[in-house]
Structure 1
Amino acid sequence: MDVMTDLPHPARDEIRIEAVLHALADPVRLQMVRVLAQLPDDGGIACGAIELPISKSTRTHHIRTLREAGVVWVRPEGTARLTTLRRDDLDALYPGMLDGILKAPR
């Protein structure tokens, strides 16, 4: 089984703007995406490595929301789950949207 399919992820053509905007409208999820956008695309980061003042269960909820919206890939790596931004998919579907959102004042 492909590691990207261990958890359900929408295919590129299944990603909907409404779901993406909903996922990015939450300040915690937006902060997660801002951190992910700064990282190289090659490895990902364990979601616990992003410093946020939230519980583990809340963090898991936010990552799931981002994954189900098609904003991030989540793949198992040993006992961790590494998260990467789906920048290529989002840029192909909605050119300039992600950059615009990430550059917006906080």
Structure 2
Amino acid sequence: MQTQTRPPSTGRSLEHPERDEIRLESVLHALSDPVRLRIFRSLADAEDELSCSVFELPVSKSTTTHHFRVLRESGVIRQIYRGTAKMSALRRDDLEALFPGLLDALLASAAHQADRLANG
């Protein structure tokens, strides 16, 4: 098994709720926005952290920052600085422990909706 090495974080830290502070209503609110749902789906598909700069979203940079902050503060994602890049990852383990089956149900429902809307 090959171990992946990551650059160290820069020491700048971002506030995240502890696992026991994450609330279902906050998670559902965070995912109620189509842009945030799109970010969530992309992070769920990723095998590792993604830089915020890889997301091509139909909103301004400041609005993108807001969407990532809502996801982070609700406990949906974890963010860390690596060099100058802000890296994001889904808090899959925390969310699955708190709300078993919710992530899979949300992802399946979001995919179903995307298919339905694409097919008219």
Q: Within the alignment, does 1:12 sit opposite 2:34 as a pair?
A: no
Q: Structure 1's 46 and 25: CA in aligned 2 closer, same or farther, altered over 3 A? A: same
1:24 matched residue in structure 2: 31
TM-score, normalization by structure 1? 0.91
User: Max radius of gyration: which structure?
Assistant: 2
What fraction of aligned residue pairs are identical, expressed as a percent? 54
- The gaps in structure 1 that reach 5 residues or longer are none
Runs of 4+ aligned structure 1 residues displaced above 2 Å come to 2-5
Counting only pairs closer than 5 Å after superposition, residues 19-98 of structure 1 correspond to structure 2 as 19-41=26-48, 44-98=49-103
CA RMSD of aligned residues (A): 1.7
- Aligned equivalents of 1:46, 1:54: Cα separation in 2: 17
- Aligned equivalents of 2:50, 2:19: Cα separation in 1: 22
User: By how many angstroms is 1:4 displaced?
Assistant: 9.3
Name the amino acid aligned to 1:83.
S
Q: Structure 1's 4 and 32: CA in aligned 2 closer, same or farther, altered over 3 A? A: farther
Q: Structure 1's 3 and 9: CA in aligned 2 closer, same or farther, altered over 3 A? A: farther
- The gaps in structure 2 that reach 5 residues or longer are 1-8, 115-120
| Number of aligned positions between the proteins | 103
User: By how many angstroms is 1:52 displaced?
Assistant: 1.1
